[in-house]
Structure 1
Amino acid sequence: MGRIRYLGVMLYDADRIHEVASCDEKDLINRQLDMYLDPNDPEVIAEAKKCGIPDSTIQAAQKSPVWKYVKEWGLALPLHPEFRTLPSLFYVMPLLPAMAQMNDDNKYNSVGASLWDDMGNPRLPMKYLASMFSAGNTNVIANILKKLMSVRTHRRQVTVGDISREEVEKAFLETGLTAEMANDIYRLTSLAKLEDRFVIPPAHREEAIEMMEETHVHKGSTGFGFMKKPKRGL
């Protein structure tokens, strides 16, 4: 997600890939995000185990920072969904730096709307962001930017106190976030440790052994997934 990178496991329904990749462009974002499954859902866990997914991978998916940004908080979007490649690579859009204005007394006015960009007239064009992340749907972009701004507003109220709590609650009401969620977003974005940002399951011995095989020997004969050498005849 920009220069601050996160890596985590995401479980998805592979049977829906064709359906998602061939849907109408206006539905691309929602369809692609719906393809990812809740790793805490008992039915999803049961099906994952049937498919041979190890418990360590499922547990990593439950702790995945990517899951939180993409599905739990709804802050991250795939790059150029209109290409229909369904990349498992997501971005949180940037917010421009805070702005302050000088008043007649040569003092900074850093309270409320003067501190940040106007959502109705942003310095970073919303259509430009939509062309990269939402197949041109500016409503999706606006919703995410409002969420990010509500986190900023909440943290400003907590740390500085020059914004009223009523203004913060109004922002939460518009975005569906809560104070607890805003604090979690703040911590994982600004204060996360390495183990919080990179949640990777350990390698399994049986997979590691297979990776040590000379794959080029089998290429074109029986494929990468089979270690038994081909024989002529019956």
Structure 2
Amino acid sequence: MMITARTAGLNLDVLEDRETLMHFGDAPKIDIATGTFMAGWHTAGKEPVGSSHGETRNVTSNKTQLTGGHTATSYTAGDMTGTVDLIKGSPVLDKIEWPDTVALEGVLYRRHTSEVAKAYVARVYKYQDGIVHIKSSREKAGLTIADRASSTDPTPRSITIDYANGDDSVAFEEMFYHIGEDGTVTQVEKKIFQNITDVEAQITAGTAFVPEASASGLTAYVAVTDEDGLVETPEPAEPVGP
């Protein structure tokens, strides 16, 4: 009975569909209200059944040797990588396989150099409850394909994605959308985070408080969007609280 009750209470996100998109230019844009991908984004290609979107984020622990052994004393952010399996045939896959290609009089000259295709990578996940999750890299990622097996039936080729961290240590931007019964897509409404107009008055009245973890009060940060629709490094606003 206990197991049944616990299982019934779980809200599992069952994945219904997924897609990987890439932007090789310098000004990728996604409409924040509807999740629409603007010009320059290309679908990476068809994914085989049973494939998965892999993602790894490594953190290195630095250890100090002690007489009784060792202990981790600090941590350093490591590399971030991803993978996706795609069926051969899309122009995007061809560009990643041979990024240094020269076309002359209808002949493609495939050059094997140190050139690596680079693009912004966006993952789109659609769940059975109608929620769509979009996760895009903030920097261009290095894209490589090592193995190129071919068989009678189409064989998926695995893309290795080397993500780059931004100067502000922000690697990804994520948004969630909901598909209505009429097929329209709308941004998921914020539930907990709200714009409170009388914050300072409530703090003074004792009906609100600033967590003691920040001795001098929390500082609110406002995300700034540039002319290309990209979120720049947040600029600090006026401190809130005592």
Relative contact order, higher structure (CA 8 A, sep 6+): 1
Structure showing the higher helix proportion among its residues = 1
- Between structures 1 and 2, the one with greater strand share: 2
Tell me the TM-score normalized by structure 1: 0.25
